[in-house]
Amino acid sequence: MNFHHGQGSALLELTGGIVSAYVSNNSVPAAEMPSLIANVHLALCGLGAVASAESATPVEKPTPAQIRKSITPDALISFIDGRPYKTLKRHLAAHGLDPKGYRGRYELPKDYPMVAANYAAQRSALAKAIGLRRPGGMAEDGEPKERGRKTG
């Protein structure tokens, strides 16, 4: 096994944590402990290899027509899994990307939206309705909001 010192010790710590949690809730004969530790360690090593293989695979670049079709008023179609999303931020984070990385990976224009138009309009209308865009923090009734500590 060729590990950098930091990666190897991190895998050993993870292996130890997983095995100790498993053993604390399950009875495992002492003779099976070495094989359990080895199996957990191999599984963790395999996860790292799969993740690096997935990131190394070339990505199919969408055509301009596919990019246009991915933007609908109610949802944005992800180029990662083809599913519709109102907002891509959490979806991208789950896949280890940020908006800039996503646009770069799929060669999307810099102005490619990360939020569906109808969802953004709905959120904007809600914010305006509760007074978030009013100067001075004015509430609906026109009175300024009280700030600071209560006296008395």
Instruction: Provide the CATH number for the domain around residue 127.
Output: 1.10.10.1550
pLDDT at 43: 87
pLDDT at 139: 52
22, 69: one domain:
no
- Count of structural domains within the chain: 2
Model-level pTM? 0.52
Coil vs helix vs strand at 29: coil
Q: Which residues pair with 144 in a beta bridge?
A: 138
pLDDT at 1: 46
| DSSP-H helix ranges across the chain | 5-25, 33-56, 64-70, 89-94, 99-105, 117-129
| CA pair distance 135, 108, nearest whole angstrom | 36
Which structural domain, as residue segments, surrounds residue 110? 61-146
119 contacts 86 by C-beta, under 8 angstroms: yes
- Nearest residue to 83 via CA among 94, 73, 101, 70: 70
pLDDT averaged per 10 residues in sequence order, the chain, 152 residues? 60 90 90 90 77 63 94 95 95 93 94 96 93 66 62 64
Domain annotation covers residue 151: no
74, 43: one domain:
no
41 contacts 15 by C-beta, under 8 angstroms: yes
128, 142: one domain:
yes
DSSP secondary structure, 31-44, as one string: GGHHHHHHHHHHHH
| CA pair distance 62, 52, nearest whole angstrom | 23
pLDDT at 110: 94
46, 97: one domain:
no
